[in-house]
Chain A
Amino acid sequence: MRCLHWLIAAASMLPLPLLACDGLALVQPWIREAPPGAAVMAGYGKLVNNGSKPVTIASISSPDFGSVEIHQSSMADGRMRMRRADPLTLAPGQSVELTPGGYHLMLMQTKQPLLAGRSHLLLHCADGDLAADFPVRAPASE
Chain B
Amino acid sequence: MKSSERLTKAWYGVLVLLMAFGGWAIIERVQAGLVVTNLTSDMTWGAWVAFYIFFVGLSVGSFLLSTMFFVFKMEKYQKISRDALLVAILSMGLAMCFILLDLGRMERFWHTLRYWNFTSMLAWEVRFYAIYIGLLTVEFYFSMRQDLIRVAQGTGWQASLVSFLTFGSTDLTDKSKQRDHKLLKNFRLNWNSHCYFRSSRGGRYAFCRG
The answer to whether A binds B is: no
